[in-house]
Amino acid sequence: MEVFTQYLEQFNEIGYVQETISSLVYVSGLPSAHQQEMLIFENGVIGMVGNITQELVEVFVFAAEPLKVGTKVARTNQLFSIPVGEEYLGNVVDPFGKLLDKFNSLTPPKTMRQIDSPPGDISTRKRVNRTFDTGITLVDILITLGKGQRELVIGDRKTGKTNFLFQTLVTQARQGAICIYAAIGKKRLDIKAAETYFKKQNILSQTVIMASTSDDPSSVIYITPYCAMTLAEYFRDQGHDVVLVLDDLYTHAKFYRELSLLGKRFPARNSYPADIFYTHARLLERAGNFISPDGKERAITCLPVAETVQGDMSGYIQTNLMSMTDGHIYFDIDSFTQGRRPAVNPFLSVSRVGRQTQTDLKRSISREVLSFLTLHEHMERFSHFGAEVTPTIRDTLSTGERIQHFFDQKTDVILDSNLQLFLFTILWFGYWNNRPFEQMKKEVEQLVKIYNTDTDFHQKVDQMTTTNKTLNDFMRVVAKNVIPFLDKLFPPLIAPANATPNIQPVNSNTKS
């Protein structure tokens, strides 16, 4: 009440609530109110000016309790701002910076930032040139991403999108990035599951979960991604690379549609408001690769999520988001039902700026694999006719299936970029051609373990991937140096009757 009175005396303008509709309130008075200005009601509730007509001011109210008609409201003459700071790291907060856990408290940071600032102009931006690792082989090799890219994650519900995002966040947090997970209109159980996962992976101290729950007012859900982006910009300006996940913008669009229809805006396509594209575009444009004033590159990599219905990528919101992002990763429900994990369809997925960040070796491998997988897909369709297949086709189908099994990755497994290339080259060489898939997977797991624990092995693998420029060169090195090592490490497929195993123990120096 005291704050309200202070603003009233300072600006000498008052408004009275005339009408309330859910999260929207119509106020008379306030002749100098401007759009997106923060207003304060006499009971302490905060609102934001949405629309201004000749007689009334439309206000988004950020409180669950309804307001009474006649309630007084004062201007603050400030655009809507939220407190931002490093105090949020390791916490689950609402869009206003308050802890979702009501039993604890958090000292609010003193720095305030507007939630709807204009995106950086082209003089502050730099071409995307650093690779963004997700830790998932399929994505890192075939759909390479770059730091500062906006990559849409799209697919039906329950196809593994959130698992993929969590793995990506873990990878990036371990590389030193600040991770912000914006849960937009999610269930409390899902938010808790995210917090538990990040705590288990020991990355919570570098993560902020900014969440609005499904029972929050539509206005609170509407501003969640803007608040998350504002926080991301703060960390970028502090000198960090930031990864921002917006989960999900399709839900955001639905709640904005609800607000617009309540606000009597004329419905456009699918009853969405006419400015739905602008609503998302002005948010996503704030991500990118930037040059800080001290000349260093800092990126906000944004991974917005969009849900499809029965695999329909041609939906209104989905196509909007695809057009305003730098590519999309499509989670195919058919691949999911076939048991592929992650269920990413590399043919329907696109990365528009990721390829320029690839090393020569990765580019060489990526091209080879994609063209082979395309051929494999054609062969698979051909084989459905039931005609007798030639040995060549049979080999192609077998190799393709082996590659698919190789790309299957559990949710708790995160692979280093160099290790991915190393393992794939061994596969491409044909080392596992005659081994069952299960054995191949076990041997891959063992190699991953050795890479993570043996410093010497780790360095050798990194050196090999750095010095070789093409797949063929790398395969020659693998043939000369790696295959003999693997033959010693893993038991032969079929042992002769009188032979004894000739496996020498690996020199296991633990990593510091």
Partner 1 sequence: MNNITTSISPLLAVIYTREEAEKVQDILSDSLDSLYKVHHNNTLSILLDNLPAHIGEVLKDQIEQKQIDVQTPEAIKKICDSLALALKNTDLLTLSLAFEPSFELTQKIAKLIKTEFGGNTLIEIEVDPHVMGGAIITFKGQYFDYSLKTKIDHFLKSQ
Residues 6+ positions from 4 with CB-CB distance below 8 Å: 40, 41, 42, 44, 72, 74
- The CB-of-9 to partner 1 minimum distance in angstroms stands at 6
> Rounded CA gap, 126 and 146, in Å?
12
- The CB-of-318 to partner 1 minimum distance in angstroms stands at 43
> Rounded CA gap, 161 and 155, in Å?
7
Using CB under 8 A as the binding rule, the residues of this chain from 7 to 46 that contact partner 1 are 8-9, 12-15, 28-31
Using CB under 8 A as the binding rule, the residues of this chain from 315 to 374 that contact partner 1 are none
- The CB-of-13 to partner 1 minimum distance in angstroms stands at 6
Using CB under 8 A as the binding rule, the residues of this chain from 56 to 75 that contact partner 1 are 74
> Rounded CA gap, 50 and 259, in Å?
10
Q: Is 394 a catalytic residue?
A: no
- The CB-of-11 to partner 1 minimum distance in angstroms stands at 8
Query: What sign has the CA pseudo-torsion 419, 425, 431, 434?
Result: positive
Using CB under 8 A as the binding rule, the residues of this chain from 284 to 313 that contact partner 1 are none
The dihedral region occupied by 73, where left means phi > 0, alpha psi between -120 and 50, and beta the remainder, is beta
Q: Which is nearer to partner 1, 74 or 344 (CB)?
A: 74
- Tally of CB atoms within 10 A around 31: 9
Give the binding range for partner 1 (CB under 8 A) out of 5-13, 103-111, 163-171, 177-185.
5-13
Residue whose structure tokens are 């004329």:
266
- The CB-of-261 to partner 1 minimum distance in angstroms stands at 28
- Tally of CB atoms within 10 A around 308: 20
- The CB-of-204 to partner 1 minimum distance in angstroms stands at 44
CB 255 within 8 A of CB 185: yes
Total number of residues binding partner 1 (CB under 8 A)?
11
- Tally of CB atoms within 10 A around 448: 16
Here the tokens at position 480 are 């000369």
Which H helix or E strand runs over 222? helix 218-237
Catalytic residue among 130, 352, 355, 435: 352
> Rounded CA gap, 7 and 9, in Å?
5
Distances (CA, A) of 198 to 180, 182, 203: 11, 14, 5
Q: What are phi and psi of 504, to 5 degrees?
A: -95, 140
Bridge-partner residues for 341, per DSSP?
none
Q: Which is nearer to partner 1, 54 or 502 (CB)?
A: 54
- The CB-of-31 to partner 1 minimum distance in angstroms stands at 4
- The CB-of-32 to partner 1 minimum distance in angstroms stands at 8
- The CB-of-8 to partner 1 minimum distance in angstroms stands at 6
Q: Which is nearer to partner 1, 34 or 157 (CB)?
A: 34
- Helix, strand or coil, per DSSP, at residue 428: helix
Q: Inter-axis angle of helices 417-429 and 437-453, to 10 degrees?
A: 140
Q: Which is nearer to partner 1, 18 or 455 (CB)?
A: 18
Using DSSP bridges, classify how beta strands 178-186 and 350-351 pair: parallel, antiparallel or unpaired.
unpaired
Bridge-partner residues for 72, per DSSP?
16
Q: Is the peptide bond before 248 cis (omega within 30 degrees of 0)?
A: yes
Q: Which is nearer to partner 1, 27 or 393 (CB)?
A: 27
Q: Which is nearer to partner 1, 25 or 136 (CB)?
A: 25
Q: Which is nearer to partner 1, 4 or 422 (CB)?
A: 4
Using CB under 8 A as the binding rule, the residues of this chain from 480 to 499 that contact partner 1 are none
If we measure between CA atoms, which residue out of 227, 286, 183 comes closest to residue 62? 227
Q: Which is nearer to partner 1, 2 or 294 (CB)?
A: 2
Q: Which is nearer to partner 1, 9 or 65 (CB)?
A: 9
> Rounded CA gap, 220 and 46, in Å?
11
Contact set with partner 1 (CB under 8 A): 8-9, 12-15, 28-31, 74
Active site residues: 352
